[in-house]
Structure 1
Amino acid sequence: MAQTTAHESLAAYLESHPRMMGALFTMCLLLMQAGNVAANGASTNAGP
Structure 2
Amino acid sequence: MADKSNQMVSYLRQNPRMMGVLFTLLLLLSQAGSVAAGCAGYIYGP
**TM-score normalised by structure 2 residue count:** 0.84
- Unaligned regions of 5+ residues in structure 2, if any? none
Residue matched to 1:35: 33
Aligned with 1:28: secondary structure? helix
- Unaligned regions of 5+ residues in structure 1, if any? none
| Count of residue pairs brought into register by the alignment | 45
- The answer to whether structure 1 residue 23 and structure 2 residue 21 are counterparts is yes
Aligned with 2:44: secondary structure? coil
Percent identical residues:
47
CA RMSD, Structure 1 to Structure 2 (Å): 1.6
**TM-score normalised by structure 1 residue count:** 0.81
